[in-house]
Structure 1
Amino acid sequence: MTPQHSALELWPPSASAVAVETDYLILAFTVLTLVLTVPVFLAISYFAIRYRDGKEADRDTSGIRSNLIEISWMLIPFLLTLIFFVWGARLYVESRNPPPDAMVVEAIGRQWMWKFQHPTGQSEINDLHVPMGQPIRMRIISQDVIHALYLPTLRMQVAALPDRYTELWFKADKPGTFHLFCSEYCGTDHSVMGGEITIMSQGDYQEWLTHSGAQQSKVAAGEAIYNAYGCGTCHAPGSQVKAPKLAGLYGSEVHLAGGRTIAADDGYLREKIRNPNGNRLADGYKQIMPSFAGVIPEDDLGRLIDYLKSYRTAGGIEPERATP
C-alpha cells in the first residue's frame, strides 16, 4: 500500500459494461461453487458425527441404488459449469476484437513507470486520460522486463512484454479517476509502478487535449525520426543504394531469401529495424542495414513504425510489391 492508497479496495468500482458483466460472472460462479460444495461439506460433517466409531447406528446397507441420482449429480454440475464456460468464452472473444473505430493509445512499460501516447501526439507518464463512450484500443510493449498493465476499474489486465506487442480494448462509461498498476513483479520499485486513469466526457477530453501541450501527430513525429536516422538515404525513391522501397510495404507479403513468405505487420517492421541480420532477409537483397537495437528508444521506434505504416504512396509513388 502506498500513501496514495488510503484503504485497501476489496472490490473497486466498475467503469464499463464489460466490468459490470465480469462482476456478475464472478459472483454467479461463486454462488454456484457454494451451492455445489457447501452441501457436500455439511453432509461430510454430519456423517462423520452420526456414524463415528463407538456410536450406535444401523450400518447395514439399504440395498437401494439409483443410477439416475448418480448420473444427475455428475451431469447437472457439468451443464451448469458449461454455462459459465460459454459466458466467459464470449467475454474473452469480445475482448480480443476491438471495433474498427477504436482510438489507438500506445503504452510502454519500463522500470518503473508507464508512458502513454495519444493519437494526436500528447504523451503522459503514469497518467492516462480517455473519453467516455469511445472504444480505446491500447497497444502495449515493454522496454526492459516483463510488466503487466492492470486497470482494476475496467477489470482488465494484460502483460507488457519486451520485443512483442500485446493489446487490450475497452469502452468506459463512468467518469472519474481510478488507479492503474503494474501487476507483474518487475524489480525493486515494482510496488510504486502505478498511476491513474481519468475517464472524462468527450467535451472535457477535447479540452484536455487542447490544453495539454499538443505535440505533432505520431506520423509526423515518426517522419522526423525517419529523417533523423537517415533512413531515406537508402530507402528513398531514387537512392543509389539497392534497398527495398517502403511505399506499400505495410500489410503486404514479403518474400524472404529462404523461400518463406511473411506478412509485413507491426512485428515484422519492428524486428527488421532492431535486428536486420536475423532470418528476415528479403529475396534479391544483401544484408547491409545496421542494427538499431538499443539505438532507437522504444517510444521513438513506435512512432517510426506508425510513419512506415502510413508510407503508402509517399511522394506520389505507387505502391509496389514489397521485398524488404
Structure 2
Amino acid sequence: MTDEISLLPPAASSVAGHTDALFYSLAGFSTAIAAALALLAVAFCIRYRRGSRASRQGARRHANGLEWAWTIAPMTVFLGLFAWGAYDYARLTRPPADAVPVLAVAKQWVWTLQHADGRREINELHVPLGRPVRLLMTSQDVIHSFFVPAFRIKQDVLPGRYTSLWFTPTRAGTYHLLCAEYCGTDHAAMVGGIVVMPPERFAQWLQEGDRGPSLARLGMRLFRDSGCAGCHNPQSSVHAPDLRQLFGRRVFMQDGSQRVADETYLRDSIVEPRKDIVAGYEPIMPSYAGQLDEEQIGALVQYLRSGAAPEESP
C-alpha cells in the first residue's frame, strides 16, 4: 500500500481532487464562521462585562440590515456548496459508456470480483490506469460498503438489489479497499486492495493466470441450462417476452407503469418475476431465487445486457 503521510490519503482518482476541494471549502467556511462568532462572543464578553465603563446608552434592539446580512450571506454560500456537491454527486451516477465492467459480490467477509472476460479475484481488483471502471455490486448476505479512501468513493452494497459505482484511477499503485459498514464478527478483516496498472500491463495481466468463461458466455450457458431459452426463444410455443436487445429499453407493465430495463430490472425479473408483470403476458415464470447464486445471476444479467439473442453466442 502507499506509505505517504498526509492529512488525507493520496488523491488517486479523477473525482478525488473535486471531492477534496469541496471538503476543504466546506471545512474552511465553517471554520471561518465559527471563529468569527467565537471572537465576537469573546469581544462582547470583555467589553460589556460587569463593571466595565463601556456605554450602554442608546442600545438598539434590532439591526435589520445586519440581521438580513448574517442570514442571507451564509445561506447563499451554503446553498452554493450544496449545488457544488449535488453536481459532483450527479456525475458519479453517470458512468462513461466505455467503462470497464466488473461484477462485485460481497460476502462475509470477502470481496469477490469478476472481470467481463472471466478473470476472477478475491479481495483484490486490478484496473487499468486512466480508464474508467464501473462496478456492478450486490451482497450475498448482509449490508456491506465498498470504500476506497484514495479514490474518495464509497457505496453501500445491499442484499437483494444492485448498486453501481465508477471511478477513473489517475495514479499507479496499490490502494486500500475497505468495508465501511459493520457486517459481523470479522468486519475489520474484510480488507483488500485496488491495483492500478498501466494499460499495457493490465492487458498482459488479463491474459495471465486461470480464468473461466466470460460473464456473458457463462450467462448464455445458464440461460440455456436453466430452461430460460425454452420460453424466451423467439421460436418457442410459450408466450414469453422477447429478450433480444432488451437492455435499456422502456418496458410497459400490466398496471400501466413503465420501467427501464436496467440491471436491477433484469435481476428482479429473475428472482421476483411476479413483481412487475409485462403488459400482454401471463405471470407464469417461476422464481429462480435460491436456485442461482449472486454470481450466476450477475452472469445472466451480463448476457442479457450484451443484447445477444437467446440462441446466440455473445
Report TM bin, short chain: 0.7 to 0.9
State the Cα distance separating 1:9 from its structure 2 match.
Answer: 7.8
- The reply to whether residue 18 of structure 1 matches residue 15 of structure 2 is yes
Task: Give the SS at the match of 2:278.
Answer: coil
- The reply to whether residue 178 of structure 1 matches residue 180 of structure 2 is no
Specify the alignment match of 2:35 in structure 1.
38
CA distance in 2, matches of 1:256, 1:17: 39
Which of residues 208, 211, 215 in structure 2 aligns to 1:214? 211
Which of residues 216, 233, 236 in structure 1 aligns to 2:233? 236
CA distance in 1, matches of 2:162, 2:206: 26
State the Cα distance separating 1:262 from its structure 2 match.
Answer: 3.5
Specify the alignment match of 2:295 in structure 1.
299
CA distance change for structure 1 residues 26 and 147 in 2, over 3 Å: closer, same or farther?
A: same
CA distance change for structure 1 residues 6 and 94 in 2, over 3 Å: closer, same or farther?
A: closer
Counting only pairs closer than 5 Å after superposition, residues 10-89 of structure 1 correspond to structure 2 as 11-53=8-50, 55-63=51-59, 67-89=64-86
Specify the alignment match of 1:265 in structure 2.
262
Task: Give the SS at the match of 2:15.
Answer: helix
Specify the alignment match of 2:272 in structure 1.
275
CA distance change for structure 1 residues 35 and 229 in 2, over 3 Å: closer, same or farther?
A: same
CA distance change for structure 1 residues 60 and 244 in 2, over 3 Å: closer, same or farther?
A: closer
Specify the alignment match of 1:204 in structure 2.
201
RMSD: 2.7
Which of residues 115, 119, 137 in structure 1 aligns to 2:116? 119
CA distance change for structure 1 residues 178 and 217 in 2, over 3 Å: closer, same or farther?
A: same
Specify the alignment match of 1:165 in structure 2.
162
Contact 2:9–2:149 at 8 Å: present in 1 too?
yes
State the Cα distance separating 1:20 from its structure 2 match.
Answer: 1.8
Contact 2:22–2:85 at 8 Å: present in 1 too?
yes
State the Cα distance separating 1:69 from its structure 2 match.
Answer: 3.5
Specify the alignment match of 1:128 in structure 2.
125
CA distance change for structure 1 residues 147 and 46 in 2, over 3 Å: closer, same or farther?
A: same
Contact 2:2–2:173 at 8 Å: present in 1 too?
no
Contact 1:223–1:307 at 8 Å: present in 2 too?
yes
Letter in 1 for 2:260: A
Contact 1:135–1:170 at 8 Å: present in 2 too?
yes
Specify the alignment match of 1:289 in structure 2.
285
- The reply to whether residue 91 of structure 1 matches residue 88 of structure 2 is yes
**TM-score normalised by the chain length of structure 2:** 0.88
Which of residues 134, 143, 147 in structure 1 aligns to 2:144? 147
State the Cα distance separating 1:311 from its structure 2 match.
Answer: 4.2
Contact 2:106–2:140 at 8 Å: present in 1 too?
yes
CA distance change for structure 1 residues 80 and 308 in 2, over 3 Å: closer, same or farther?
A: closer
CA distance change for structure 1 residues 57 and 172 in 2, over 3 Å: closer, same or farther?
A: same
CA distance change for structure 1 residues 281 and 16 in 2, over 3 Å: closer, same or farther?
A: closer
Task: Give the SS at the match of 1:17.
Answer: coil
Contact 2:146–2:177 at 8 Å: present in 1 too?
yes
Letter in 2 for 1:190: H
Specify the alignment match of 1:319 in structure 2.
none
**TM-score normalised by the chain length of structure 1:** 0.85
Contact 2:2–2:174 at 8 Å: present in 1 too?
no
CA distance change for structure 1 residues 281 and 222 in 2, over 3 Å: closer, same or farther?
A: same
Contact 1:129–1:200 at 8 Å: present in 2 too?
yes
Stretches of structure 1 lacking an aligned partner (at least 5 in a row): 317-324
CA distance change for structure 1 residues 10 and 243 in 2, over 3 Å: closer, same or farther?
A: same
Specify the alignment match of 1:320 in structure 2.
none
Task: Give the SS at the match of 1:227.
Answer: helix
State the Cα distance separating 1:200 from its structure 2 match.
Answer: 0.9
Contact 1:249–1:312 at 8 Å: present in 2 too?
no
State the Cα distance separating 1:257 from its structure 2 match.
Answer: 3.9
State the Cα distance separating 1:269 from its structure 2 match.
Answer: 1.9
CA distance in 1, matches of 2:144, 2:6: 22
CA distance in 1, matches of 2:253, 2:75: 49
Specify the alignment match of 1:322 in structure 2.
none
CA distance in 2, matches of 1:207, 1:70: 65
